Each structure stands twice: as structure tokens, then as C-alpha cells.
């Protein structure tokens, strides 16, 4: 295994970004030839981020036809491209991280790559190990969820979407985890001892919570006519300790529900007024005060951020796709595609770092303390 090495992302050219020359991968993989690859997901749905530690984050970005993974360190004020060598990211990336423990990256299938390579890292992405998953990730943004000991994923079969699980060591084989109700699984998020799954049935979205300890599912009373956004987030419980919880947000008219799913499956939620009667949540997280926070897209694509305390930050840019929140130390960062490109916005300072991603990260380097 060789350690990846790359200087500040700001110094990279576009041609260098396209080459997955960083990261290391345990097994040599032949990249399939695809002259006209067509990803299952739209480009806008693949902009994503994840918290690695309080001062590190993963972000995904596209260069030409390839999606790549970058590790940003707020300690060194620099970024490294950590995409594994030998796997093409043309179909897009699914990522998940259990802060301070391990992370997983999955590659969505595309034209001639029918299966989805799934690889695991325990050091932020400097070294990778392959998993035993031999199927295809389903075309949902949140296709991977992590608990302390288990990798969960949404797979695509000829009969529809199924939920699978495997030990986090990636040494064991994946097995199907029976889903308790009829409905299409639309995304998952991991809690420390299980997973939260969103599913749709009859035009309504619901939540189901699985406990690895009891081996049982519980059904949430929260439902929504719009998709329910979910995000795994480290929530401080006392002092500097933290536990992995899932933040959720859903909307019904001008009523916005924000909440947290605890590792024991208990949901605490509050209902606040939406700044726009047509607002739909597209991402959520917790802020520096451990309050659930939602990113909303309103009429005309206008964006706003709302916390469960009712505090609203209106942002004028038009959002054209799904977005992601990344909490980096005291900064709540919105990473999302707008009508003039991908942007990253710091809600605390109001700074819009703009795009492309190399410009974003170089600006962060000079702005964050």
C-alpha cells in the first residue's frame, strides 16, 4: 500500500484532477471502457460531503466526465485528492463516514461497469481496502449508511431496491436485511448501532429505524408528501464526546419538521414555520449548538437555511439540485449546485466560496481560522 501524496488542490490543473493518481487500493482493477457513459444519477444529485473529524471533511467534485473524492484538512489548510487508483468515477460516487472511525466510498454503475466497487478506509482515505460487495448501488444519493460495526447499503436488483449489510471490516459477505414493509427504499443514514431508512409508499414518505442490538425495526410516525432529508451527524452529548445521530427534516406546506434520531431510535423533533410555503428540504445537519438545521429550496429555486429554533438564513442563489451540509468545526457549510455552478457557502460568515472546487478550497484556506 502506498500513501497518497498531493499538494494543495488550488495548484492543480483540470487535467491533473481527472487522473486518479492519489489514494491507494489493495487490488488492481481494470477500468471498463465506456465511450458514452451515462450515469444513473444527475450530476446535481452527486454533489456531496461528509464529516471525517471535527477539522476534516470529504467533498465530491466533478472534473470533465469524472467524479473524484477530496479530503480537506482545516489543520493544514490543504486538500488532497484521495480517489482510489484504478476505478473510474464516471458513474458518480456515494460516500459515508463514521467520524473518527472509518469511511466508505461506492461507485455507481454506468454503461459498461455493471457492478459497484465498494471500498473502505480507516485513515481518512490515504489507504483503501476492497469489500466483498458484488452488486450494484441503487440510484439514490444516500445509498450507504454506517454504524459502529456495520456497513449498510441500498442495492439494485431486477426486483427493485433492497437493503444489505456487512461487517465494517468489509471482510464478510453482504447479506440482505429484510425490510419490514412494502415500499421503495429511497435512502439511508447510519446511527451508531443501526440504520435509518426512508421509504415511499402511495406517494408518501416514511421512516423506519433498525437496531442491530435487538435485530428489530421500529416505524416512525413522521411522514411527508415530500422526500425526507437525512444526514448522519456527530452530536456532542457532554464535553467533547460525541455520538452519531441522524438529523431529519421534512415539510408539509409551510410546516417544517426538524428532528434528531438518537442511537436508541428515539426521535426528538420540533415544527417550525417555513420561510416559503413551497419550500422543500434538500439537506440537513446539526449546527454548532447541536440543533437540527435544514437547507430548503423554495419557489424559483431560492435557498434558505432554517434551524429548529426558527432562525432563518436566506441565501439568494437559485438551487438546481440536491445539496449537502458539512459541519467543519464551528462552520456550517452548504455544498450545492446552483444555476451558475457548484458553490460552497459558510452560513456563519455568509461567505460564498463559489466554484470550481479548487477555487472553493483555496478560498477556504485563506478564510478559516
pLDDT, tens digit (0-9, with 9 covering 90-100), for 31-46: 333 333 344 555 555 6
d(C-alpha 332, C-alpha 124), whole Å: 20
Residue 362 has pLDDT above 60, yes or no: no
Torsion of CA 127, 132, 134, 135, to 10 degrees: -90
Could you read off the pLDDT of 247-291 as tens digits, one per residue?
Answer: 888 888 778 889 899 888 888 888 887 777 777 888 888 877 788
Calculate the average pLDDT of the chain. Answer: 76
Q: Which of 38, 93, 86 shows the shortest CA–CA distance to 67?
A: 93
Q: Which residues fall within 8 angstroms of residue 274, CB to CB, at 6 or more apart?
A: 251, 253, 254, 255, 256, 296, 298, 306
**Poorest-confidence range of 92-106, 112-126, 285-299?**
285-299
Grid cell locating 102? 472509518
- Percent of the chain at pLDDT > 90 equals 21
Mean pLDDT of 140-146: 91
Residue 320 has pLDDT above 90, yes or no: no
Could you read off the pLDDT of 189-228 as tens digits, one per residue?
Answer: 999 889 999 999 988 999 999 999 999 999 998 888 888 9
Does 234 or 218 have the greater pLDDT score? 218
Bridge-partner residues for 290, per DSSP? none
Question: How much of the chain is in helix, strand and coil states, percent to nearest 5?
Answer: 5, 50, 45
d(C-alpha 324, C-alpha 340), whole Å: 17
Q: Which residues fall within 8 angstroms of residue 272, CB to CB, at 6 or more apart?
A: 256, 258, 306, 308, 309, 310
**What pLDDT, on a 0 to 100 scale, did the predictor assign at position 216?**
94
d(C-alpha 306, C-alpha 285), whole Å: 11
Residue 156 has pLDDT above 60, yes or no: yes
d(C-alpha 359, C-alpha 54), whole Å: 22
Residue 356 has pLDDT above 70, yes or no: no
Mean pLDDT of 344-355: 71
At 176, the pLDDT band (50, 70, 90 cuts) reads very high
Reading phi first (left if > 0) and then psi (alpha if -120 to 50, else beta), residue 300 is in left
Q: What are phi and psi of 63, to 5 degrees?
A: -130, 120
Amino acid at each position: 500500500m502506498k500513501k497518497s501524496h498531493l499538494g494543495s488542490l488550488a495548484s492543480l490543473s483540470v487535467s491533473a484532477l481527472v487522473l486518479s493518481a492519489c489514494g491507494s487500493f489493495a487490488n488492481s482493477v481494470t477500468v471498463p471502457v465506456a465511450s458514452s457513459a451515462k450515469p444513473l444519477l444527475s450530476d446535481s444529485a452527486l454533489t456531496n460531503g461528509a464529516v471525517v473529524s471535527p477539522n476534516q471533511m470529504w467533498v465530491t467534485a466533478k472534473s470533465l466526465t469524472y467524479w473524484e473524492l477530496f479530503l480537506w484538512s482545516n489543520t493544514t489548510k490543504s486538500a488532497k485528492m484521495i480517489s482510489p487508483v484504478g476505478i473510474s468515477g464516471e458513474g458518480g460516487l456515494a460516500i459515508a463516514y463514521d467520524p473518527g472511525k472509518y469511511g466508505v466510498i461506492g461507485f455507481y454503475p454506468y454503461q459498461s461497469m455493471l457492478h459497484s466497487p465498494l471500498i473502505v478506509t480507516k485513515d481518512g482515505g490515504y489507504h483503501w481496502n476492497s469489500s466483498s460487495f458484488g452488486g450494484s448501488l441503487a440510484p439514490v444519493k444516500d445509498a450507504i449508511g454506517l454504524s459502529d460495526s456495520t456497513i449498510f447499503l441500498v442495492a439494485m436488483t431486477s426486483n427493485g431496491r433492497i437493503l444489505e449489510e456487512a461487517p465494517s471490516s468489509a471482510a464478510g459477505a453482504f447479506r440482505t436485511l429484510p425490510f419490514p414493509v412494502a415500499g421503495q427504499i429511497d435512502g439511508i443514514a447510519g446511527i451508531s448501532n443501526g440504520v435509518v431508512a426512508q421509504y415511499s409508499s402511495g406517494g408518501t414518505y416514511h421512516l423506519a429505524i433498525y437496531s442491530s442490538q435487538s435485530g428489530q425495526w421500529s416505524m416512525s410516525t413522521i411522514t411527508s408528501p415530500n422526500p425526507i432529508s437525512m444526514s448522519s451527524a456527530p452530536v456532542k452529548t457532554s464535553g467533547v464526546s460525541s455520538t452519531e445521530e441522524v438529523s431529519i427534516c421534512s415539510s408539509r406546506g409551510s410546516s417544517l419538521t426538524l428532528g434528531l434520531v438518537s442511537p436508541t431510535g428515539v426521535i426528538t423533533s420540533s415544527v417550525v414555520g417555513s420561510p416559503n410555503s413551497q419550500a422543500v428540504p434538500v439537506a440537513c445537519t446539526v449546527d454548532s449548538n447541536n440543533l437540527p438545521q435544514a437547507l430548503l429550496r423554495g419557489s424559483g429555486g431560492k435557498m434558505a437555511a432554517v434551524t429548529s429554533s426558527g432562525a432563518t438564513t436566506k441565501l439568494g442563489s437559485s438551487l438546481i439540485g440536491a445539496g449537502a451540509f458539512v459541519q467543519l468545526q464551528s462552520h456550517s457549510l452548504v455544498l450545492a449546485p446552483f444555476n451558475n455552478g457548484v458553490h460552497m457557502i459558510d452560513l456563519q460568515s455568509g461567505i460564498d466560496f463559489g466554484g470550481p472546487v479548487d477555487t472553493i478550497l483555496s478560498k477556504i484556506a485563506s478564510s478559516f481560522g
